[in-house]
Every structure is written in C-alpha cells, then in structure tokens.
Structure 1
Amino acid sequence: MALKNVLVTGCSSGIGLAIAARLAKDEQKRFKVYATMRNLSKQEALVQAAEECVGETLEIKQLDVCSEESIKDCVNDIPDRKVDILVSNAGIGLIGPIECQSIDEMKTVMDTNFFGLVRLLKEILPDMKRRKDGHIVIISSVMGIQGILFNDVYSASKFAVEGFCESLAIQALKFKLQLSLIEPGPVITEFERKVFEDGMKMDPSGVDDETANMFTDIYLKNYKSVFQSLGQTAEDVAEHTLKVILAENPPFRHQTNNLYTPLTTLKYADPNGDLPIDTFYKMVFQHDKIFNASLNFIKLLRWRSTRSFDLGKT
C-alpha cells in the first residue's frame, strides 16, 4: 500500500513535533511525513525525536504559514504536489488584558492561527477536491468552543478557525473529503511555557489596578496549577490525532482531554450562553478555594494513578 503523504506545520516543538515523530515512526510505515517549520535552525529536537526516520518516512522542510510564497514552495517540493493528509498545527498564543496588547500583536495572532490555515487550504484544497480524496486535520483548542479569562484574542483566533471549518466541512462532504478539528485543553509544551513567560513580562501600567491584580494574582498565580492538574503531554495529543487519522469515519470534532470536557459541555447545556460564563465567574471569584482544592485533588489522583501504573510494571 502506498504511503500517505502527510504535511504537518509547526513541528519545531510541542504538539507538531510530537505528531510528526509519531506518524513517521508508525510501525506499519503508512505515512511519509513532511514536517515543516518556519525556522529550520530549530529542527534539532525533531531530528532527535525521530532520528531513525529522517530521510525515510520523515523529511523536514521550511514553511511559514504567514507567507503564501513559502507555502507554495514547500508544496511544490512534494512529489506531484500530492498531500493526502494536512495537519495544520502552527500557531502562537497571547494572554493578558487587551489594554496591554497592541493591535499589531493581535493581528499577528490572527494572521498565524487563522489566516495561516486559510493560506494552507488555498494551496492544498484544490488538488484534494480534484482527486476527491484527502483529510484535513486542524489542531484547534477547547478555547475555540469556550472563551477563557485573559485569553480573549487567542480564543477569538480559535473561534474563527472553528466557524471557518464548520462552514467548509459542508463543502468538503460534497468532494468526499474528511475534515477534523482536534481540540486539546491545557497541554504542557514549550508553547505554553513561552506564553506564560510573555505574560509575566507584560507591562500592566496600561490597565486599571483591579484588572492588573486579577491578571497577576489570580490568572498567572493559578496558571501552573491548572496545567499540572489538567495538562496533557504533546505525545498524548499526538496519539489522539493518529487515532482520528486512522478512523474509518473520522469525527468532525474530537476533544483530547476528558478532564476538561465537563467545562466545555456547559456551552451546549444552556442555549442562552449564561451558564458557562456564570460558572467560570463563580469558580474564579467566589469559589476559588474550592476550585484550587479540586485542582489539587485531581493532581493527587493523577499522581497516584501514575505511581500505581509504574509500580505495576516493575
């Protein structure tokens, strides 16, 4: 059986790296992975993760999703320009009060997270439609379903992706194409570490004291705790992505974190939209002690589960 050509974006670290390595190391060798990144000088981590596959089931190429020319050059370098599976993963984050963020920063997030996907599809979709074959896999986020405090612009970019894909999916069906949104919750990666560090460096002088304190004393203070309690690894997300790719009837939406699913379910439980907003408000401002205790309890359960599993193997 011929290998399926898989183009993955944003592979220098995190989820993109994990997906590229997992597909390239597939024991049945079903994929030829074209792992791309904006800056090829950052390829060392990927090479180390899948060293035995480089030049065989893995090729590393330059691609900047913010450049139509870069995308075209990369696709032209793939035999017959044939992309069977597109994994659109490249993205950037932004947290903090909007008063402290420039419009240019916001535009950069939208240009990368949303228009980056649009540029990829403008180049790759026509051939998929002509062949009536292809699978488009987008690494979205639960924040494309439910906005989170101080993630306003990032959530907006993911909401744009989700709405765009809901519309496109109807057309895709006509051409026998598959379209899947992978929606992780918190994922422990270099991406998140950089977002947190940028948040810590943010100058709060452009915002009122109450909002500044809310960001530093509530949001940033609990950031690590949330990730330690609810966070997945990039490798876990990669396994979920592989299962979606291999599914006979891939789902349109797939959330990767069962611990986070109850929070996104609130969005669908109340047509008025008040329930999730009211719930998050109370969690943050009225029941913060209970919320933190719950996070610590989940963290303890996960630690004990891991310990139990490890001891069982030895």
Structure 2
Amino acid sequence: MIKRSNQDSALSLNISMTERFSTPSTPLRSNRPSLPRPPPMEPRLVLITGCSSGIGLALAVKLANDEQKRFKVVATMRNLAKRGALEEAAGDALNDTLEIKKLDVCSDSSIRECMGSIPGRHVDVLINNAGVGLIGPIECQSIDDMKGVFETNFFGVVRMIKEVLPDMKRRRRGHIVVISSVMGLQGIMFNDIYAASKFAVEGFCESLLYQTMNFNIFLTLVEPGPVVTEFELKVNEEAIRGDYSKTDLETAEMFINFYLKNTKAIFSSLGQTPEDVAEHILRVITMEEPPFRHQTNQVYTPVTALKYADPSGELVNDIFYKLVFHHDTLMQASLRAIKLIRWKAHKVQQGARMLGLI
C-alpha cells in the first residue's frame, strides 16, 4: 500500500492528438439570475484547505501577495505543526493578508470551530484543496485505507460546501472551487480508489451545480494532471521498495515495471509545478463568468475528448492498453520529445520576459 498526496500521476494518451483537441476552458453560459458582481470594495475572503504543502501552500502565498490586494486568505491545515513552510513562504503577508488556521476536513467540529472564528462566518471563495491518495494493487490496500481516501477527498468536500453554502445562498453570491483531477474524468490503473473518490466529487458537483446556479453561486472543478512535488517523488521511490506479497507476481511486476516507470517519465515530461496550478486557480476565481470545469494541463484534454467521442469506452481503453503494454518505447519517445519542446518554450518565455515583451 502506497499513499500519496492529491497531486496526480497519470499515463499519457496519444500525445500527437493534443493540439487537435486542446481548447481553453470556456465559461458556462446559462440562465443564471442576473445579479451582477459589483467591484469588491473590500478584499474577498478566500478559505483554502490543505495548505501545509503543494498546491494549497502555493495558492495561499500567491493570493496573499496579490499586488492589487484583492484577497484576504484564510489558509487552513489539519496539523498546525506543519505551518513552518507556509509561514516562511508568506513573508510579510503573514498575519496581514494571510492568516493560518487549523481545520481538519474529516472533522465536523474542527470545521465548525474554524468557521466560527471567521467574522460572520462569511466566506466569499471556498477552495477545497485538501486531499490524499492511494496507489498500488488493491489486494495490498485495506478497506479502512480506502475509506480514509473517501473521507478526505469526497466527504471532506461535502462537509466544507455544506458549511459555506447557506450563507452564500442568503447573499446570492459566492464561488466554490474544488480541486479535482483528470482522474475524475478517466481512471488510471493502480489509482483505483483515488480515481473513484474523484469521480464521486465530479458527480456530486455536477448535481449540485444547478442549485448553485439558481442562487448565483459559481462552482468550478479544477482538474490538474501530474503536479511535481518533493513528496510525490519520495512516494514513488518508496513504492519501488514496497511489499506486494499480497498480490500475484505478475501484478506486482506490472505495478513496479510499467506503472512506476511510466509515472516517473510522465512527471518529468508533463508535470506542472504547484505554482503553475495556483496561477490557473487565480485566473479562474478572478473571471467574471468562471467555468464549471477547468483543466490546468491541456496535454490531457484528449482523454476526455476520446471518452465523449466513443461512449462505449472501447477507443480510449484500447489506446491506453496498447500504449502501456505494446507501445511502451513509442510512449517513452513521445514523452522525451514533449519534455524537450516544453523546455524550449520555457526558455523562449524567459527571454521574452527579460526583453519586456510579456
């Protein structure tokens, strides 16, 4: 059993199709009640869960250091003993535009206590970021571990939304952001339980959307692909030394020799930094008409395009299977090519910034 954070690992899919299907997120146009958003006179209060590391930490720092002072950030975490990294990264924003509070999304009392410390229990933007993961053969995972993933990734989101929704409804204004995953749209082998928890989140939000629209509340699913963190890299290294005696030898070798090897290549070639994802979230919460879904890594757009193109699932499943088991060399070459292209694009962007062109 290997646990990991909410940043994902996922297999690449038909890289050559990316440009064909990649399109920027577009706002959801609807008959939402016409209640225009006036320019905020005061900073919007943004509550973020899971801020001790990764995306949550990067996002809290970015919003708190916003040059336009548009946000007052309540950065929360389950264990305040881990607040050191956030305090250091926040700099002068700490205790000014950023406040750190304890909040465990698995505890009703912890959520109520945190919300009770916020004046009027007023939250303008809720960002559900806290999450955990579970990778490996399911025979090596306990039911309690599986329940723990759902307790955080699904019921944690439900608890937080239940807490802020009544006030947002009364004010007929607010924005709820849920950090989902591309694995909430397409399952990936050896991420069975994690993907299931994200599918549950996607279905929950799809159903809740129509109610929030009626109250002029925006709801957005942000769907990252792999996000590179030190924790992720460490977990994958530990996975190689894991005990897989509870499963058969063929499955254990499939996990170690196919999944872990491809995961390392994918993170190296396609992975985003937490800061990259935080920039996407900033753009989403400052839009006049935020989209319902926003993928942060367009390399994964073909996954959903193929899935909708063939409702039977045969097309996308056949491509995944063949990439992993029959065309591994081709996939590795494609990943190396993409890594080179991204590196060159980054250098061009750096040069443009130095020249003041962007």
> Under TM normalisation by the shorter chain, which class is it?
over 0.9
Alpha-carbon distance, 1:13 to partner: 0.4
Whole-angstrom CA distance in 2 between matches of 1:104 and 1:131: 39
Aligned residue pairs, count: 314
Give the corresponding residue for 2:107.
Answer: 67
- Contact 1:93/1:195 (CA < 8 Å) preserved in 2? no
Whole-angstrom CA distance in 2 between matches of 1:177 and 1:198: 42
Whole-angstrom CA distance in 2 between matches of 1:22 and 1:191: 21
Q: How does 1:183-194 map to 2 (within 5 A)?
A: 183-194=223-234
AA partner of residue 76 (structure 2)? T
Alpha-carbon distance, 1:256 to partner: 0.4
Give the corresponding residue for 1:205.
Answer: 245
- C-alpha distance after superposition, 1:118-173 (max 9, x if no partner): 11112111111121111000000000000011110000000000000000001111
* 2:54 is the counterpart of 1:14: yes
- C-alpha distance after superposition, 1:78-135 (max 9, x if no partner): 1111011000000001110101111111111010000000111121111111211110
AA partner of residue 218 (structure 2)? Q
Give the corresponding residue for 1:254.
Answer: 294
Residue 117 of structure 2: which of 67, 73, 77 is its match? 77
Give the corresponding residue for 1:145.
Answer: 185
Q: Secondary structure at the match of 1:205?
A: coil
Alpha-carbon distance, 1:198 to partner: 5.0
Give the corresponding residue for 2:321.
Answer: 281
Alpha-carbon distance, 1:226 to partner: 0.5
Q: Secondary structure at the match of 1:90?
A: coil
Residue 299 of structure 1: which of 325, 339, 352 is its match? 339
Q: Secondary structure at the match of 1:7?
A: strand
Q: Secondary structure at the match of 1:33?
A: strand
AA partner of residue 253 (structure 1)? R
**Comparing both chains, which one has the higher relative contact order based on Cα–Cα distances under 8 Å and sequence gaps of 6 or more?**
2
- C-alpha distance after superposition, 1:183-235 (max 9, x if no partner): 00111124523542453343110111111110001111222110010101111
Hey, which of these two has a bigger chunk of helix by percent?
Answer: 1
- C-alpha distance after superposition, 1:234-292 (max 9, x if no partner): 11111110111011110000000012222332211111122111110011011111011
Give the corresponding residue for 1:29.
Answer: 69
Whole-angstrom CA distance in 1 between matches of 2:243 and 2:335: 29
Residue 168 of structure 2: which of 114, 125, 128 is its match? 128
* 2:137 is the counterpart of 1:97: yes
Whole-angstrom CA distance in 2 between matches of 1:4 and 1:308: 35
Give the corresponding residue for 1:107.
Answer: 147
Alpha-carbon distance, 1:305 to partner: 2.4
Whole-angstrom CA distance in 1 between matches of 2:237 and 2:114: 32
12-21 vs 184-193, which deviates more? Answer: 184-193
Whole-angstrom CA distance in 1 between matches of 2:148 and 2:263: 23
Distance 1:136 1:19, change over 3 A: same
Residue 170 of structure 1: which of 210, 229, 243 is its match? 210
Whole-angstrom CA distance in 2 between matches of 1:105 and 1:199: 16
Q: Where does the alignment leave 5 or more consecutive residues of structure 2 unmatched?
A: 1-40
Distance 1:42 1:130, change over 3 A: same
Whole-angstrom CA distance in 2 between matches of 1:149 and 1:293: 21
Whole-angstrom CA distance in 1 between matches of 2:42 and 2:209: 26
299-308 vs 160-169, which deviates more? Answer: 299-308
Whole-angstrom CA distance in 1 between matches of 2:70 and 2:157: 25
Give the corresponding residue for 1:227.
Answer: 267
Residue 281 of structure 2: which of 234, 241, 244 is its match? 241
Q: Secondary structure at the match of 1:206?
A: coil
Give the corresponding residue for 2:255.
Answer: 215
* 2:304 is the counterpart of 1:264: yes
Whole-angstrom CA distance in 1 between matches of 2:56 and 2:237: 21
Name segments (4+ residues, structure 1) moved above 4 Å: none
Alpha-carbon distance, 1:48 to partner: 1.6
User: Once superposed, what is the RMSD of the aligned Cα atoms?
Assistant: 1.4
